[in-house]
Amino acid sequence: MPTKTKKEKPSFAKASKGEEDKNEQRIRIRLKAFDSRIIDKSAKQIIETLEKLDVKAIGPVPLPTEISKFTVNRSTFVHKDSREQFEMRIHKRLIEIPNPSSKTIDALQNLSLPAGVDIEIKM
């Protein structure tokens, strides 16, 4: 009886994701805010600063809005049917800068953004 042999998958000479990222340095700027208008103004300000320096930027990419909902009783003790609902929305944006220079990093550090915007920078 002939035995069945497993077909081997061809191996390609393409570098994996981890190897590609080692060659290219990136800065990822993640913005968070409760107000969508403020976060859009901040993202626009960052993009304009990068355009002045002739730096190519990817974004701003809108990330999913995180919604937290809270339901509370209107009264303190009884009347469970009478409730009130509140929600809190956290808007997020992502800006990616491939191959940043030292001038780019200095310009981003000296940038003043409006209050209420949380900035998270990853290299």
Give pLDDT tens digits for 108-123. Answer: 888 898 999 999 989 8
**CATH code of residue 62:** 3.30.70.600
Q: Pick left, alpha or beta for residue 54 (phi over 0 → left; psi -120 to 50 → alpha; otherwise beta).
A: left
In a domain, 42, yes or no: yes
pTM (two decimals): 0.73
Q: What is the pLDDT of residues 52-87, one digit of tens each?
A: 999 999 989 999 999 999 999 999 888 889 999 999
Q: Count of CB atoms within 10 A of residue 90's CB?
A: 15
In a domain, 52, yes or no: yes
- Taking every pair of C-alpha atoms in the chain, what is the biggest distance, in angstroms? 81
Domain enclosing residue 54, as ranges: 25-74+84-122
Number of domains in the chain: 1
- Rounded to whole angstroms, how far apart are CA atoms 66 and 88? 8
- Rounded to whole angstroms, how far apart are CA atoms 96 and 92? 13
In a domain, 12, yes or no: no
The band of 11, judged by pLDDT with boundaries at 50, 70 and 90, is very low
In a domain, 64, yes or no: yes
Dihedral angle at the C-alpha atoms of 95, 101, 103, 107, nearest 10 degrees?
Answer: 10
In a domain, 1, yes or no: no
